[in-house]
Structure 1
């Protein structure tokens, strides 16, 4: 999301509106007219959509809070990536959960800091509230929440390189796909595409879990190792990374395809496209591709593939381009 400079009053108005719409859309008596009004508000400004998504994150957290304590005295910390006093209080009260924010923090249920970051057509470097440094790849998005007993990041999409501030008492957890990475202080990369995740470790040690619902099915990585998993994997697949591995070439603005099968290359390519390219069949997926490409020019790669590979392009009913290995051309009837 593009950075904007707003006054305190302007930002409060947007945050309060996001809290209001979050409450109304979750209410049983929400009308069709209200839903239409919300859509107009949501679509009127990217910041409206951004704040509403942040409010949904808070709503999801509040659902796990217990009941029966005094009315809230929510924190009023800024900037706009953190909790808003009225928004948090309104969300918690709307759920019928009168719990003081201080109590929630001490019990480990409520974070005292909430940050959300996005990178658009260019990469982005950010500093989390705990001092950790994060480098975001193009089109990536993550959320950071600081709880009393742990620091928690959710990588919603894309790729991020982490240089984690060491704090043995507060583990740093990255949730990606159906798994998670647990560390105390180290340097590592997490790549997420659909339900596929790859974790590459440079320094320190990390514990990679392929299904965060069960902490038993994990693997510990040491520097120079990579773990990968997808939805449904009981254990992550672990391998050593060679000295000429190109997993982190994105940090230099490059996509390196080192004689990869198209089935392996397309997830790397599709990360930078508005609409994913599909494979017509398994045979097409066995064709191999190589080359070094600038990240901002990846969108020009697919139309050029018929010039370098025995393939042709078609389009499916959803409008996605489809790669087909050259063979009998489909009938035009």
Structure 2
């Protein structure tokens, strides 16, 4: 955006308008007429678009906030359709960031640091605001927010290896899928694809829950253990793994498939594809595959599968490639 100077009052008016539209467009009762009016306002001036994008960043912070208990907001002041993080977001936008940040930090509502990281076609090494180190795998994304009572990472997609700075008074929590990992200082890996999550512990101790809204359940891991869960699991499934397990091979730029059934291998492969490959049936999923592959060449793996497995490729109505097992001839 080309920089230009406006009177302070005009800047304030644009900021107020951006805050108004941010709240209205997130409201359940927003009308089509309002959405059209917003588009006209948004497109009328590049500065409008710039200020609205900034407001969305603030709103994005609020979406990661803990929900306010209903009694914290008097019934006469409670929003008709939403409470919790939405009410806090409205407070942030209405009061202005500096005042809201001061109050929100002390109440444990708002972080004093907020960072978003993405990795594209190469592994990315990042340092979080608390000093923890993270390796971010290809096509991965996470958000870090530092709250008064905890350090919180939200995995948006992909995979990351964490080397967490120890702080027993300030726990480190990674939210992935419907569960979470809670630590004070340790080294571990989190892999996520759709609703599947795997946590591999290298050093220290972590507590893994498969449904963060539940007070019960969860598993404590020791080094050399891996927990996995998916949506709907009450308890994570735990198994022992070697610390040089294939799940950590991505840190060396490799995808290692150790004689896996296709049903287990495809989620690992699909993580790196623009469109997931599907299985035609359960029988195809029982075929096994092995080998070491460069991460940047995984897209070439699927077309080559008919050369190493008794399968052929078709395409479904959605445009996804489908693996089909070649039927074995029956004996008379």
> What residue is the counterpart of 1:109 in the other structure?
109
TM score, norm. by length of structure 1: 0.79
Give 1:50 deviation, angstroms.
Answer: 8.2
2:288 is matched with which residue? 288
1:25–1:89 CA distance, 2 compared to 1 (3 A): closer
State the distance in 2 between where 1:179 and 1:99 align.
Answer: 33
**Other structure's SS at 2:61 match:** helix
Shift of 1:62: 6.7
> 1-side partners of 2:42 and 2:289: how far apart?
43
Unpaired segments ≥5 residues, structure 1: 42-46, 69-87, 329-333
Runs of 5+ unmatched residues, structure 2? 6-10, 45-49, 75-87
Partner of 1:150: 150
CA 1:216/1:64 → structure 2, altered by over 3 Å: closer, same or farther?
A: closer
Give the match for residue 303 of structure 2.
Answer: 303
Structure with a larger share of its residues in helix? 2
Q: Is the 8 A contact 1:137 1:160 kept in 2?
A: yes
Further displaced range: 113-122 or 20-29: 20-29
1:220 aligns with 2:223: no
Distance of aligned partners of 1:258 and 1:206 in 2 relative to their CA distance in 1, 3 Å threshold: same
Equivalents in 2 of 1:7, 1:37: separation in Å? 22
Q: In 2, Cα distance between the equivalents of 1:227 and 1:233? A: 12
- Residue 226 of structure 1: SS of its match in structure 2? strand
Scaled by the length of structure 2, what TM-score is found?
0.79
Alignment of 1:35-54 (within 5 A): 36=39, 54=57
- Secondary structure, aligned partner of 2:135: strand
- Structure 1 residues 165, 62: CA separation in 2 closer, same or farther (over 3 Å shift)? closer
Distance between the aligned counterparts of 2:100 and 2:53, measured in 1? 26
CA RMSD of aligned residues (A): 3.5
Max radius of gyration: which structure?
2
Equivalence for 1:266: 266
Does the CA contact (< 8 Å) of 2:163 and 2:186 recur in 1?
yes
Does structure 1 residue 31 correspond to structure 2 residue 31? Answer: no
In the TM superposition, 1:1-333 aligns within 5 A as 22-26=22-26, 28=30, 31-34=34-37, 36=39, 54-61=57-64, 64=67, 92-94=92-94, 100-242=100-242, 244-327=244-327
